[in-house]
Amino acid sequence: MDRIAIVGGGISGLSLAYFILSKDPTADIVVFESEKRLGGKIWTDKAEGYLCEGGVNGFLDNRPKTLDLSTMIKLTPLRSNDASRKRFIFSDRKLQRLPESPPSFLMSGLLSLPGRLRVMAEPFIKGDARDEETLAAFARRRLGREAYEKLIDPMASGIYAGNPETLSLRSCFPKVYDLEKKYGGLIRGMIRLQKARKKAGSGEKVGAGPGGVLTSYYQGMAEMVDALKTALGDRVRTGFKAAALDRTGRGYTLHFSDGSGFEAGTVVLAAPAYAASEILKPIDTRLSRVISGIPYPSLSVVCFGYRKEKVKMSLDGFGFLVPSREKRQILGTLWDSSIFPNRAPEGHVLLRTMVGGARASVLARESDPKLIASVRSEVADIMGIKADPDFIRIYRHEMAIPQYTVGHLDRMTEIDALLSKYNNLHVSGNAYRGIGVNDCIENSWKLAEKIVEGTV
| pLDDT at position 455 over 80 | no
- Tell me the pLDDT tens digit for each residue of 28-80: 999 999 999 999 999 999 999 999 999 999 999 999 999 999 999 999 999 99
Q: Rounded to an integer, what distance in angstroms lies between the CA atom of residue 207 and that of residue 174?
A: 13
pLDDT digits (tens, 9 = 90+) for 149-162: 999 999 999 999 99
Q: What's the mean pLDDT when you consider all of the chain?
A: 94
Q: Are 440 and 18 in contact (CB under 8 A)?
A: no
Residue 198: its pLDDT value, please? 78
Q: What is the C-alpha to C-alpha distance for residues 120 and 279, in angstroms, rounded to an integer?
A: 50
Q: What is the pLDDT of residue 129?
A: 61
Any idea what DSSP says for residue 152?
Answer: I
pLDDT level of residue 210 (50, 70, 90 thresholds): low
Look at residue 427 and tell me whether its pLDDT is greater than 70: yes
With contact defined as beta carbons under 8 Å apart, do 134 and 122 qualify?
no
- Residue 266: CATH number of its domain: 3.50.50.60
Q: Is 44 helix (H, G, I), strand (E, B) or coil?
A: strand
Contacts of 369 (CB under 8 A, 6+ apart): none
| pLDDT reading at 209 higher than 90 | no
What integer pLDDT is reported at residue 202 of this predicted model?
54
- Please name every residue paired with 89 in a beta bridge, in sequence order, or none if there are none: 96, 321
Report residue 265: phi and psi, to 5°.
Answer: -80, -30
Angle between the N-to-C axes of helices 273-280 and 285-292, in degrees from 0 to 180, rounded to the nearest 10: 170
Say yes or no: 161 and 136 in one domain.
yes
- Say yes or no: 258 and 287 in one domain: yes
Look at residue 270 in the predicted model and tell me its pLDDT: 98
Provide the strand spans (E) within 275-419: 299-307, 319-321, 332-334, 348-356, 391-397
Question: Residue 8 above 80 pLDDT?
Answer: yes
Q: What is the CATH number of the domain that holds 333?
A: 3.90.660.20
C-alpha 432: how far from its chain's center?
Answer: 12
323 and 344, same domain (yes or no): yes
Structure pTM? 0.93
Domain boundary among 359, 378, 397: 397
pLDDT in tens, 339-392: 999 999 999 999 999 999 999 999 999 999 999 999 999 999 999 999 999 999
Same domain for 183 and 120?
yes
Comparing CA positions, the residue from 381, 375, 282 lying closest to residue 334 is 375
> Could you tell me if 317 and 174 lie in one domain?
no
pLDDT of residue 100: 82
In a domain, 103, yes or no: no
Query: Looking at residue 167, what DSSP letter applies?
Result: B
Q: Residue 63 domain-assigned?
A: no
Q: Which domain holds residue 150?
A: 111-199
Say whether both 251 and 338 belong to one domain. Answer: no
23 inside domain? yes
> CB under 8 Å, gap of 24 or more: what pairs does 181-189 form?
181/127, 181/129, 183/127, 184/126, 184/127, 185/122, 185/123, 185/125, 185/127, 185/142, 186/122, 186/142, 187/122, 187/123, 188/123
- 421 belongs to a structural domain: yes
β-sheet bridge partners, residue 321: 89, 332
